[in-house]
Structure 1
């Protein structure tokens, strides 16, 4: 019973993302800095949607003598096209977000991982087009590539779409402007480290009491 509910919530997020995309709004970026990652996958997603449209037209021709079946198949085809466009919309309206305390790494409605900046050990620009699953590593691949590698001082919990927990200490993900993201993350991490190591202000001495 849990899996159908999870899938239903996922599809609802896609539909909400589609509405936000049409309204030209973003999802929960707040006062942070947003970094997009959907630029490279747009043509692929719209190509997939076009294939779905062609398939829908072909099925309409094949099932023209079976109107009841045709109506059911047509509804399913339209819903499939909406979900495909919704996946791209979710990638656009749910960017990575960097604020003063954390880096939020996202991929459409599938991945949403918030990493406290005090747990960041290093971040670097690293383009990878091949990935192998390994314990303690998370690859948030977009268009068959990742462009940023983030190493952590201690594991953070990542929950999959189906609710399974994985503890990860290394995260690879993609950003359209990877160089800028790396610079900004380094700057924020440095600010966090300086704030943690700065000496606390000494209390002001009490004034002398009159005799």
Structure 2
């Protein structure tokens, strides 16, 4: 990066707060994802030998429902508002809202979780959240359906990070060491356990451990270094941090 460009970036950081920069970056990436989705381009950041794990299943109906409500609102306000200037302003805001809903869903579709051949796990939620977990940081990974309460990204006092989709998570990753991550608005935090949703959690766990989906599971090896174990826990009926 040239000194002039670096100086401009530093000046921008000094003027625009971090949460505002993160929101602007999210909207730019979401808009690019909408174009990728419309043009049927391959998923972002997924190579030919990588395992892509979608996670939009529990929220798809909700997103399309929200889109339908937004369209009804746009038509209704166009009929009810008699003032042309106000009508044009509201129309622009409504159209922007519809496009934003589409872009957010497109970002989730085109930015799935990714497991690389070396065991590196990339956990994402659209353009809002992106965390790379190296294989040597994984102590164990298992299929575990939970229903935590709270926001999209929540961190308990004991370092359990929940990335919730449709009020549920299906994969739990216990870390060999705490990892630093960025919240959607830029704040930094550290997690020792990560729980997130994947539409097919068994396939994701199998990709991380190098096993074939449905294959018999060998006895788990002892935990040494970056060993990864497969555990399967019955569905939990209550959420929250353990």
Alignment gaps of 5+ in structure 2:
1-15, 212-219, 228-242
* Aligned pair partner of 1:80 in 86, 92, 97: 97
Q: Select the structure of larger CA radius of gyration.
A: 1
Could you say which residue in structure 1 is the equivalent of 2:7?
none
Could you say which residue in structure 1 is the equivalent of 2:185?
162
Map residues 40-59 of structure 1 onto 2, 5 A cutoff.
40-59=58-77
CA contact (8 A) 1:131 1:139 kept: no
Runs of 4 or more, structure 1, over 6 Å off, are none
CA contact (8 A) 2:168 2:197 kept: yes
Q: Which moved more, 1:146-155 or 1:54-63?
A: 54-63
Q: TM-score, normalised by structure 2?
A: 0.75
Map residues 123-138 of structure 1 onto 2, 5 A cutoff.
123-131=141-149, 133-135=155-157, 136-138=159-161
Is 1:90–2:107 an aligned residue pair?
A: yes
SS at match of 1:168: strand
1:133-176 Cα shifts (integer Å, max 9, x gaps): 41312111111110000000001111012211111110001111
Alignment gaps of 5+ in structure 1:
198-211
The number of aligned residues is: 192
SS at match of 1:127: strand
CA contact (8 A) 2:119 2:134 kept: yes
Q: TM-score, normalised by structure 1?
A: 0.85
Kindly report the root-mean-square deviation, in angstroms, between the aligned alpha carbons of the 2 structures.
Answer: 2.1
Is 1:23–2:45 an aligned residue pair?
A: no
The structural deviation recorded for 1:102 is 1.0
SS at match of 1:16: helix
Q: Distance in 2 between matches of 1:30 and 1:162?
A: 28
